[in-house]
Amino acid sequence: MFFQAAANQEKQKGQGMTEYLIVGALIAVGAIVVFSMFGQVMRYQASGVSQELAGKNSKPSIKEAKNKADFARSNAKYSKKMDDYKSTVYLKKVYGDNH
């Protein structure tokens, strides 16, 4: 009887750890989605913040973040699906190969 209770307690510990792993994975997937949608804007904003913290001028980074946000807003009306290769070609023309 004692061994069965100990085994059940170990299973519950494993279940709790599995739940934490699932929640962590969901948070990671959410972060990936957010960065893929707003990646360039966020990178330039982070660049501006880091330059301000270093005591440097951040106006170029802030301006570039605004430009990227405006570009994203103007292109939001276009459909970009996995089977829409034209949008990929268009983005490569705009950003180059390493966007």
pLDDT, tens only, 1-48? 555 666 666 667 778 888 999 999 999 998 887 777 777 777 788 888
Question: Residue 52 — very low, low, confident or very high, per pLDDT cuts 50/70/90?
Answer: confident
- What's the number of domains the chain is made of? 1
Query: For residue 68, which of 86, 93, 85, 45 has the smallest C-alpha distance?
Result: 45
Range of the domain at 60: 2-95
Q: DSSP readout, 14-42?
A: HHHHHHHHHHHHHHHHHHHHHHHHHHHHH
pTM, entire model: 0.41
Q: What secondary structure letter does DSSP report for 97?
A: S
pLDDT at 91 over 70: no
Is the pLDDT at 76 greater than 90? The verdict is no
Percentage of the chain beyond pLDDT 70 is 64
Average pLDDT of span 69-77: 76
